[in-house]
Amino acid sequence: MRTADKLQEQETRFAKMESDINAIKQALFQSLQEPKSWAQVVRKPSTKLDPHEASHTSPPPPKRQHIRAELRRERAKHQITLTAANASEEAKAQLAAATHEEITNRCQNAINAANGEALPPLRGVQKLKSNDIRITCESSEELDKLKQVNWNTAYDGLTLHKPKFGVVLHDVPLQFVPLDALSTRDTSKPIMKRIEEQNSDDDLAIAQIRPLRRNFKPIEATKSSSIVIFFYSAEVADRVIRKGLYLNHRLFPAIRYTPQFKVTQCYKCRGFGHHAVRCRRKEACGRCSGEHSTGTCTETTDKCIGCGGNHVAWHPECPRWQEEKRRIEELSQNSSGLFQ
């Protein structure tokens, strides 16, 4: 085909694409002009667009989300994360300003100092928003060796992040585990030690124990609560899920702690699936859907930014909120009850 013919064909294709886009815009514009009652909104979630439409698109289908979660889980098996949470302020500033190449070189020096010449050269690192560093390994053997490196030689205070795997125990009597004893790690140590001793056959090593609801304040009539027990080993956590856990010689069934399967709504943009601290979208009022914070809103009429209904954005009966809840429930049903 001659060049002129190719150009003509491309121009025709672009013209058709532009015509299709204009047709879609016109159809959307007409649909926005149709008045909708609150009953209509409840029956069918609105497709109404607003200035924040790009920030509030529907999340991927549950199957796609499940596939992504599986891929992340597989990648995590060959990754280590180095945390700067306990690093000095100077080291944190150095990390924040450092390039990926500079961080890679420092980490490589730490590996070499640990007699890591047998390991393949470090190709690069992933710098997280938290200034933590993630390294992807080629094999499980390489992963195990990198866990033995003294990363403090790369940056002062840089340490290996140890992931924790939580299990939930429901209806635990307060006389067994008083909630005020879980307020700090020091006060919870005796309880952790007692649980480890009563389950010594399973070689437990408890990393942390806390109430399931962080701000839970029991009233006088409350006799039990739910607690989360964290382990450093996914294998140990799975064993506890399968067998249960003894506490004061009473066997409690345990389930996997899955905070990711709760509806998460951003306080900044009012979208779902992320928190305000990591949100890069425009601020949106949860009351009137205007471009300002909810706390400064002076409007007297509610307008949901998610569906356009006359209610606040976090209303549990909002069609958009219910849609997100159904998505999370489907994800939960399709997920494994174990960590491995």
**pLDDT at residue 39, rounded to an integer:** 47
Residue 15 has φ and ψ, to the nearest 5°, of -65, -40
Q: Is 190 contained in some domain?
A: yes
- Does the pLDDT of residue 41 top 80, yes or no? no
Banded pLDDT at 66 (limits 50, 70, 90): low
Q: Is 97 contained in some domain?
A: yes
**pLDDT at residue 179, rounded to an integer:** 82
Region 13-26: mean pLDDT is 62
What residues make up the domain containing 182? 165-257
- Asked if 126 and 198 sit in the same domain, the reply is no
Task: Tell me the pLDDT of the chain averaged across its residues.
Answer: 80
Q: Is 133 contained in some domain?
A: yes
- Asked if 291 and 270 sit in the same domain, the reply is yes
**pLDDT at residue 46, rounded to an integer:** 44
Query: Could you tell me which residue, 333 or 175, shows the higher pLDDT?
Result: 175
List pLDDT tens digits, range 250-282. Answer: 999 999 998 877 888 999 999 988 888 878 899
Banded pLDDT at 242 (limits 50, 70, 90): very high
Taking alpha carbons only, the member of 164, 59, 165, 154 closest to residue 106 is: 154
Rounded to the nearest 10 degrees, the angle between the axes of helix 319-334 and helix 62-76 is 50
Question: Residue 159 pairs with which residues in a beta bridge?
Answer: 83
Q: Domain holding 207: CATH number?
A: 3.30.70.330
| Dihedral, CA of residue 11, residue 13, residue 18 and residue 23, to nearest 10 | 140
Between CA 264 and CA 267 the distance in angstroms is 10
**pLDDT at residue 213, rounded to an integer:** 82
**pLDDT at residue 333, rounded to an integer:** 75
- Asked if 271 and 242 sit in the same domain, the reply is no
Q: Are 166 and 229 spatial neighbours (Cβ–Cβ below 8 Å)? A: yes
Q: Is 48 contained in some domain?
A: no
Angstrom distances, CA of residue 248 to CA of 131, 173, 180, 284, 290: 42, 10, 18, 50, 54
Query: Could you tell me which residue, 10 or 142, shows the higher pLDDT?
Result: 142
pTM flag (> 0.85)? no
- Asked if 121 and 201 sit in the same domain, the reply is no
List pLDDT tens digits, range 167-216. Answer: 999 999 988 988 888 888 888 899 999 999 999 776 788 999 999 887 76
Banded pLDDT at 30 (limits 50, 70, 90): low
**pLDDT at residue 338, rounded to an integer:** 86
- Asked if 233 and 268 sit in the same domain, the reply is no
Q: Is 249 contained in some domain?
A: yes
DSSP state of 33: H
Q: Which of 117, 143, 160 is the last residue of a domain?
A: 160
Angstrom distances, CA of residue 176 to CA of 189, 191, 195, 212, 247: 14, 9, 10, 15, 7
Query: Nearest 5 degrees, angle CA 33-CA 37-CA 43?
Result: 105
Region 154-159: mean pLDDT is 90
Q: Is 104 contained in some domain?
A: yes
Q: Is 311 contained in some domain?
A: yes
- Asked if 83 and 134 sit in the same domain, the reply is yes
Q: Can you tell me which residue has the tokens 């294998």? A: 235
Q: Is 19 contained in some domain?
A: no
- Asked if 264 and 329 sit in the same domain, the reply is yes
**pLDDT at residue 171, rounded to an integer:** 92
- Asked if 137 and 181 sit in the same domain, the reply is no
Region 13-36: mean pLDDT is 58
Between CA 256 and CA 228 the distance in angstroms is 9
Between CA 340 and CA 95 the distance in angstroms is 33
- Does the pLDDT of residue 52 top 50, yes or no? no
Between CA 80 and CA 136 the distance in angstroms is 7
Is residue 292 left, alpha or beta, with left meaning phi > 0 and alpha meaning psi from -120 to 50? beta
- Does the pLDDT of residue 131 top 60, yes or no? yes
Q: Which of 106, 131, 160 is the last residue of a domain?
A: 160
Angstrom distances, CA of residue 191 to CA of 166, 217, 230, 234: 16, 19, 13, 21
Domain count, the chain: 3
